[in-house]
Amino acid sequence: MTTPISRRTSLQTLSLAVGSILTQPINGLGASEPAPKKLGIALVGLGNYATNQLAPALQETQNCYLAGIVTGSPEKAKVWSSKYAIPAKNIYNYQTFDQIRNNPDIDIIYVVLPNFLHAEYTIRAAQAGKHVICEKPMAMNANEARQMITACEKAGVQLSVGYRLYFEPHHLEMRRLVAEKAFGQVKVIESALGFTVPGPDSWRLDKKIGGGGAIMDLGIYANRAHGERSIWTRSV
């Protein structure tokens, strides 16, 4: 019997991966030593995805937790502080964002903003000395992506793109089957994905804010599901 897959279970898998990467064991410690500290994540941008997916999932993760938020809405700050017991010192707005460098509670900054803001806040997070998870698509263009990578390398922090299918067990199994040619040489793969945009004014439909539109935002799922090739793939 297969296990139903949701963003929540995928995020739990992601938390394990993030924890294993960023929390390294100290040589010589025995089994009786205390477990590594849970990594504190600050969500930047409290839209639908952060509100309805990330924040609830972070209540169930093993290696990380919701430590702080960054929002331009005082009302949202009040609601989130009450709901998730976030202390005032871990709540920032976009003007005070850079002060997050002085907060030891926050280890990772998760950028959940519209696409055109990914580069700016990833770079600023790196300059604050924090590891970064940036929602996909990573950037508006290749030049922005290079700047983000360079900033994180210069700061000595790690950068991850929130593309959950790299951790989702069914996709990992499919990649294994193809790589091992369990069913012979793959000739054609057809992939499709869709969802209802919340309205004609959605930022996802604005090229200046959302970048490449639906192909960049959702087409990436069908595209990368089988090795970062086009939606129709034919072996050469």
- pLDDT tens across 108-119, in order? 999 999 999 999
Is the same domain home to 42 and 157?
yes
86 pLDDT higher than 90: yes
Q: Domain boundary at 118, 142, 165, which?
A: 165
Q: Which two tokens stand for residue 111?
A: 């950028």
| d(C-alpha 128, C-alpha 126), whole Å | 5
Is the same domain home to 45 and 114?
yes
Is the same domain home to 187 and 84?
no
Q: What is the mean pLDDT of residues 100-125?
A: 97
Q: Are 117 and 197 in contact (CB under 8 A)?
A: no
Q: Domain boundary at 150, 165, 180, which?
A: 165
Domain assignment of residue 67, yes or no: yes
| d(C-alpha 224, C-alpha 236), whole Å | 18
| Helix (H/G/I), strand (E/B), else coil: 40 | strand
> CATH number for the domain including 64?
3.40.50.720
Q: Which residues pair with 161 in a beta bridge?
A: 134
Helical H runs in the chain? 7-22, 48-49, 55-57, 74-84, 118-127, 142-155, 169-179, 207-210, 214-217, 219-224
Q: What is the pLDDT of residues 48-57, one digit of tens each?
A: 999 999 999 9
Give pTM, 2 decimals. Answer: 0.76
Is the same domain home to 215 and 157?
no
Backbone phi and psi for residue 121, each to the nearest 5 degrees, phi listed first = -80, -25
61 pLDDT higher than 90: yes
- For 76, residues 6+ apart whose C-beta sits below 8 A from its C-beta are 46, 69
| d(C-alpha 104, C-alpha 97), whole Å | 14
Question: Interior CA angle at 156 toward 107 and 216, to 5°?
Answer: 80
Is the same domain home to 44 and 114?
yes
**Residue 49 a catalytic site member:** no
Total of domains in the chain: 2
Is the same domain home to 158 and 177?
no
**Residue 221 a catalytic site member:** yes
Q: What is the pLDDT of residues 126-162, one digit of tens each?
A: 999 999 999 988 998 899 999 999 999 999 999 999 8
Domain assignment of residue 26, yes or no: no
Q: What is the mean pLDDT of residues 72-79?
A: 97
> CATH number for the domain including 206?
3.30.360.10
Range of the domain at 179: 170-234
Is the same domain home to 104 and 212?
no
Is the same domain home to 81 and 177?
no
Is the same domain home to 202 and 107?
no
Catalytic residue among 92, 110, 121, 136: 136
Confidence of residue 18 (pLDDT cuts 50, 70, 90): low
Is the same domain home to 151 and 188?
no
Is the same domain home to 141 and 207?
no
